[in-house]
Every structure is written in structure tokens, then in C-alpha cells.
């Protein structure tokens, strides 16, 4: 079983829509969590870290549910420029040092 | 200037050839990583290094070797390239602790 699971999508949404992605992880001892954004054929870039209390950065909100071992990303008022693949990333910490576990990504396409 | 650079950015080679991919960073990080990305498989860790004298195998190290020449340089070698090593290769760095990782722009390798 893959340690980090994501719905691959694609999610096709109109501009201005709200879209949510979920991710589940298998290692309950995981210590830190991130969402990365990856544009086509480009490197992954950190979008935001995810904290237990939930955190918001502009139109983006990330939530962590440790009991259910899932992470979510909410994008409000979608822009065309939000089209990308969003990677859920988990740091298992105790079991593999500081090597991150990456989900396969969820593809988002925002249309006019 | 980019904090993490990779050379070459694109490479086409033939089966059986030896290939070296190079990574340099100016972030001052001790930890460096090599990943490959294939469509539908996501990012997979090949090797990682926590300092110049510490090299560790990742999930898919067979067919690859690495060299950590200095804190800022981490090279990946394919001793005898084969077609299923055709992929997008990323180098990444991170600081101490359960930190996130910062990626280079990637090397697109095609083995014919």
C-alpha cells in the first residue's frame, strides 16, 4: 500500500469555483505535512505546510486530521493560474529519517 | 540565481552509456536527495545524503550510484543506462530537522 494516497483527478473546475483535494497517509507516526504545487515539466514547489490547527494562506486553506490520517487542501475563487498538479507530502520522520513521502499528485485544470 | 541547479537540463543517450547528472546548491543545506519522476508513479527517492560522509539508498537505487563531492554538490551516475531509466530526475535539498525540501529544475533524461 502506498504511504500517501491522493485522488489523481483530473479536477476540471470553472474560474471562481471552490475545489478541495484530500490525501490520506498510512504512517500514524508521521510528523510533518506539506502541499506542493507542480507545473507541467517543472520542479515541485512548496505551496504550504499543514498544521494540526489548520492554516490559511490567501485563497488556500490546509487542514490536518491526525485521528483519521488525512490532509486536505481547499482552494477558493480558483484562478486559471491555479491549474497544476498538487502533491501531498508527508514526512514520516521516525522511520526514514528526513526523506519525504510524496503522493502521486492531483491534477487541477481551471477553465475560463 | 537559482538556489538549486542541475546540469544538464536535457540529455539523450544510448543504452549502455555512462551518464552523470550533477546538482549544486547555494542554500547551505547539509541534506541532498535524488528523485526520479515517471508519469503515473510520482516521485521516487533514489539516494539521499545527510552530509558529505553519509550516503543512503532510497526506494529505487539499483542501477544508480552517487557521489557527494562537497556539501554543495551531489552527483548521480547511471553506470550503464537502460531505456527504463528514461525519466525526469530531480535533485533536492533540505535543512536540519523535519524540514521541507527544495527542488532543482530537473533533468530530462532519455535513454534510447
What tens digit of pLDDT does each residue of A21-42 get? 999 999 888 878 999 999 998 9
In this complex, is the C-beta atom of A95 within 8 Å of any C-beta atom belonging to chain B?
A: no
User: Hey, CA dihedral for B46, B106, B66, B16, is it positive or negative?
Assistant: positive
pLDDT digits (tens, 9 = 90+) for B27-82: 999 889 999 999 878 899 999 998 899 999 998 999 999 999 999 999 999 999 99
Q: What are the grid coordinates assigned to B14, written together?
A: 544510448
CA distance B18 to chain A (A): 24
Averaged over A102-106, what is the pLDDT? 92
Residue B99 has pLDDT above 70, yes or no: no
CA distance B104 to chain A (A): 6
Q: Report the C-alpha gap between A107 and A8 in whole angstroms.
A: 6
Averaged over A76-85, what is the pLDDT? 97
Residue with more model confidence, B2 or B92: B92
Averaged over B12-29, what is the pLDDT? 96
What residues of chain A lie within 8 A of the CB of B103, using their CB?
43-45
Cα dihedral B21, A89, B71, B20, rounded to 10, equals: -10
Residue with more model confidence, A45 or A93: A45
- Sheet with B65-70, strands from edge to edge, namely B4-7, B19-25, B73-78, B65-70
Tell me which residue in A93, A102, A103 faces B98 most closely, judged by beta carbons. A93
* Per-residue pLDDT band at A96 (split at 50, 70, 90): very low
Q: What is the pLDDT of residue B97?
A: 60
Residue A98 has pLDDT above 90, yes or no: no
CA distance B106 to chain A (A): 6
Contact indicator for A26, A92 with CB cutoff of 8 Å: no
* Per-residue pLDDT band at A95 (split at 50, 70, 90): very low
B81 DSSP assignment: -
Averaged over A67-84, what is the pLDDT? 96
What residues of chain B lie within 8 A of the CB of A87, using their CB?
42-43
Amino acid at each position: 500500500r502506498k504511504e500517501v494516497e491522493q485522488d489523481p483527478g483530473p479536477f476540471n473546475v470553472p474560474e471562481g469555483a471552490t475545489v478541495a483535494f484530500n490525501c490520506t497517509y498510512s504512517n500514524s507516526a508521521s510528523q510533518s505535512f506539506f502541499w506542493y504545487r507542480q507545473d507541467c515539466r517543472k520542479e515541485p514547489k512548496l505551496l504550504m505546510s499543514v498544521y494540526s490547527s489548520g492554516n490559511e494562506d490567501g485563497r488556500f486553506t490546509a487542514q490536518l486530521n491526525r485521528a483519521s490520517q488525512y490532509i486536505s487542501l481547499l482552494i477558493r475563487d480558483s484562478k486559471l493560474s491555479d491549474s497544476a498538479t498538487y502533491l501531498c507530502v508527508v514526512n514520516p520522520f521516525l522511520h526514514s529519517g528526513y526523506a519525504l513521502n510524496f503522493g502521486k499528485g492531483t491534477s487541477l485544470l481551471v477553465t475560463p | 540565481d537559482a538556489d538549486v541547479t542541475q546540469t544538464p537540463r536535457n540529455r539523450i543517450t544510448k543504452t549502455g552509456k555512462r551518464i552523470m547528472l550533477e546538482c549544486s546548491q547555494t542554500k547551505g543545506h547539509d541534506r541532498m536527495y535524488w528523485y526520479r519522476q515517471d508519469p503515473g508513479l510520482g516521485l521516487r527517492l533514489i539516494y539521499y545524503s545527510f552530509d558529505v560522509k553519509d550516503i543512503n539508498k532510497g526506494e529505487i537505487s539499483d542501477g544508480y550510484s552517487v557521489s557527494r563531492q562537497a556539501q554543495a554538490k551531489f552527483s548521480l551516475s547511471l553506470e550503464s543506462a537502460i531505456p527504463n531509466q528514461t525519466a525526469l530526475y530531480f535533485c533536492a535539498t533540505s535543512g536540519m530537522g523535519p524540514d521541507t525540501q527544495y527542488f532543482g529544475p530537473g533533468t530530462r533524461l532519455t535513454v534510447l
